[in-house]
Amino acid sequence: MSRFTVPASSKSWLPVAAESDFPIQNLPFGLADPKGRNMSVVVAIGDWALDLSVLSEAGYLDGEEFPLLDSFIELGEGRLSDLRRAVYDLLEESNPRLRDNKKVRENALVPLEKANLQVPIPPVSFVDFYSGVHHASNVGKMFRPDQPPLLPNYKWLPIGYNGRASSVYASGTKIIRPKGQTKGANDAAPEFGPTREMDFELEMGFYLSQGHEAGKRVTTTAAEDHMLGLVIVNDWSARDMQRWEYQPLGPFLAKSFGTTVSPWIVTLDALEPFRIDGMAQDPAPLPYLRNHGKPHFDIGLEVWLKSAKMKKPQLVCRSNMKNLYWSLAQQLAHQTSNGTPVEFGDLYATGTISGEEEGTYGSMLELSWRGQQPITLDETGEKRTFLEDGDTVTMRAYAQGDGFRVGFGDCSGTVAPAV
C-alpha cells in the first residue's frame, strides 16, 4: 500500500503552534458530537476539529465517495487515506477554496474543547497484549521473585488475552473504583470490597480497518494494511484483584471495569516518517511471526498524575513505543493465526510500555515497586503507591518531526469512589 506523507515543510492556512499535536502533517480522525449537531467524523488541525459532514454537505468532498461521515463504518484504510488526502488539499495554505469561504469555514471548524469527542469506534472485540518486555520482566520480578523474570513462552509468542469491549471509554470519562475479591498473603480467606491497588497501564492500540471470515489469517506482511491507525490506551487495573484471580486463566475482573482510549486515530500514513527497526528479537521468531521492513515506531509517551488537591499535573513517566518486543504486525498475525474471524473496528492494545530505567515505568505497580517505594507529588507533598479517588491520569504521545510533532491528544480519566 502506498502511503501519503505530508512534507515537513508543508503548512496550513490555519495557525498551528509548533508544539501542537495536530499540524497538517498529522490530520488524525475522531468522532465528535458538537452541541446541537449530529455525530460526525472530524479531523484535528491546530486547536480545531474540522467537521467532515459539514464539508461533505457543502460539496467540498466527493459526495458519492463520502456521503454520510457520521461514523467510521465503510471507511476502511484505503478510503480513510483518500479522505485524509482530500482534507490535506483543503487545509494546505495555498488552497483558497475553504480558506476564503467564511460561511462554510466557520461552520466546519469546531473549537476542540467544544467538539465533545467520543470513542472513535466502539470496538466489537478488544484484545490486550503484553508486548512491553521491560514491563513483563518487572512484573515477573515482583510476582514470581524465585523464577526467571520472563516465562519461557514470552520470546516465542506475543502473550495476550481477550479483553472486554463494553467498558472501552472515551477520554474524560470517570473510572469507578471497582470492587472485587482480594486476599492478603496471610489471610485464610478472601474478602470482597473496593480495590486498594488501583492502577493505570500506559499502552498504545490499533483499530482494524477490515474484517475477515473464519479460517483466514493476516500475515505479518499484510498486517499494517489491516490497520486504520493508532490510539493511546489506558488499561486500568486493580492489582490486588489481579494477583488473586489471574492464575491459571489470566486477568478477568481486574482489567474489565474500564479501558480509556484517546480520541484521535493517528494514521500509519502520518507515522511513516517515524519508523524504526525496534529491538532485536532473539530467538528468531517462527516464520509466521517474522517482521518485515521497519516494524516499530519512535513515539514518545508520557503519563501525568494530578491529585484532587493539585492545580497542575506532575509528569511521572516518560517512555517510548520502541520498548515493545513484539511489533503491531506480529500481534495481529499471531492473534489471527488460529483462523478466528475478526471485524472492522476491533481494538488491539500493546500491553504496558515501560522503559528500563526509573521514571520510565508505565504503571504505578512499577513506579512504586509494588507499593514499597511511594512516589511524592511535589506540589502538595502527597505520597502515592497506587491511585486514590480523585486522581486524574493523563497519557500523552507524540512523534517529534523536524519542526512539527505528530501527537495523539490526551487520554485522560479520573478515579471515582467505589459504588
Catalytic residue list: 135
For Mn ion, give the closer residue by CB, 30 or 362: 362
Alpha helix segments (H runs only) across 280-400 = 328-335, 364-367
The least CB distance from residue 205 to Mn ion, in Å, is 10
For Mn ion, give the closer residue by CB, 350 or 412: 350
For Mn ion, give the closer residue by CB, 120 or 160: 160
For Mn ion, give the closer residue by CB, 239 or 296: 239
Q: Which residue ranges make up the site for Mn ion (CB under 5 A)?
A: 128, 201, 235
The least CB distance from residue 151 to Mn ion, in Å, is 16
Alpha helix segments (H runs only) across 218-281 = 239-245, 268-271
For Mn ion, give the closer residue by CB, 105 or 255: 255
With b meaning 16 or more CB within 10 Å and e meaning fewer, what string describes 84-113?
bebbbebbbeeeeebbeeeebbeebbbebe
Q: Select from 105, 110, 411, 381 the least CA-distant residue to 258.
A: 411
- Report, in angstroms and rounded to the nearest whole number, the Rg of the chain calculated over CA atoms: 21
Q: Select from 251, 233, 226 the least CA-distant residue to 241.
A: 251
The least CB distance from residue 251 to Mn ion, in Å, is 8
Grid-cell match 527497526, residue found: 277
- Beta strand 259-261 pairing with 227-235: antiparallel
Q: Are 322 and 133 in contact (CB under 8 A)?
A: no
The least CB distance from residue 176 to Mn ion, in Å, is 19
Alpha helix segments (H runs only) across 31-124 = 52-57, 77-91, 96-99, 102-108
Report the residue number whose CB is nearest to Mn ion.
235
Grid cell digits, residue 122: 466502539
Q: Are 302 and 315 in contact (CB under 8 A)?
A: yes
Q: Are 335 and 205 in contact (CB under 8 A)?
A: no
For Mn ion, give the closer residue by CB, 77 or 201: 201
For Mn ion, give the closer residue by CB, 140 or 401: 140
The least CB distance from residue 349 to Mn ion, in Å, is 6
How far apart (Å, rounded) are the C-alpha atoms in residues 111 and 91?
Answer: 16
**Sign of the four-CA dihedral 346, 350, 352, 353:** negative
The least CB distance from residue 128 to Mn ion, in Å, is 5
For Mn ion, give the closer residue by CB, 60 or 326: 326
How far apart (Å, rounded) are the C-alpha atoms in residues 200 and 202?
Answer: 7
Dihedral over alpha carbons 382, 355, 29, 335 (to 10 degrees): -120
Q: Are 6 and 27 in contact (CB under 8 A)?
A: yes
Residues ≥6 apart with Cβ < 8 Å to 332: 206, 208, 218, 223, 226, 227, 348
The least CB distance from residue 273 to Mn ion, in Å, is 28
The least CB distance from residue 132 to Mn ion, in Å, is 9
How far apart (Å, rounded) are the C-alpha atoms in residues 348 and 16?
Answer: 31
